[in-house]
Structure 1
């Protein structure tokens, strides 16, 4: 079963960054995150879409809305 709302460690692992980096990203870069009982959480579909948009912009493609 896939976790649709992963916690910080599950987000950090595939990005190959430290958990602290994920927290910093949520303060500066603004990935789609919300707080649940004081912990940052991410909807996997929102995170995938956000990462896809960042990737497209990085390679010069236009973002479709």
Structure 2
């Protein structure tokens, strides 16, 4: 199953998650997916690497999203001031 393109249903079954989880990962966690017409298709080797890098974990992007805006600005080069 590593060389052919697989569907949302197949990748969900492969990973042991629901189709809704897969769609959420595409939208929020940059899951490697390719749009073919109106269908999403996947290469299992790309998805395997994405999982191995920890990008499917619950805390991967949520920690960054939960960080206060002021902290994000400091990391990005300083806070903006009014005046």
Per the normalisation by structure 2, the TM-score is: 0.57
Of structures 1 and 2, the one scoring higher in RCO (CA 8 A, sep 6+) is: 1
- Name 1:63's counterpart in structure 2: none
Residues 21-60 of structure 1: matches in 2 within 5 Å?
21-54=21-54
Unpaired runs of at least 5, structure 2:
58-83
Unpaired runs of at least 5, structure 1:
58-65
Runs of 4+ with deviation above 2 angstroms: none
What number of residue pairs does the alignment pair up?
A: 55
> For 1:14-64, what per-residue CA distance to the aligned partner results, in whole angstroms no more than 9, with x for missing partners?
222111111111000111111001111111221111111118x8xxxxxxx
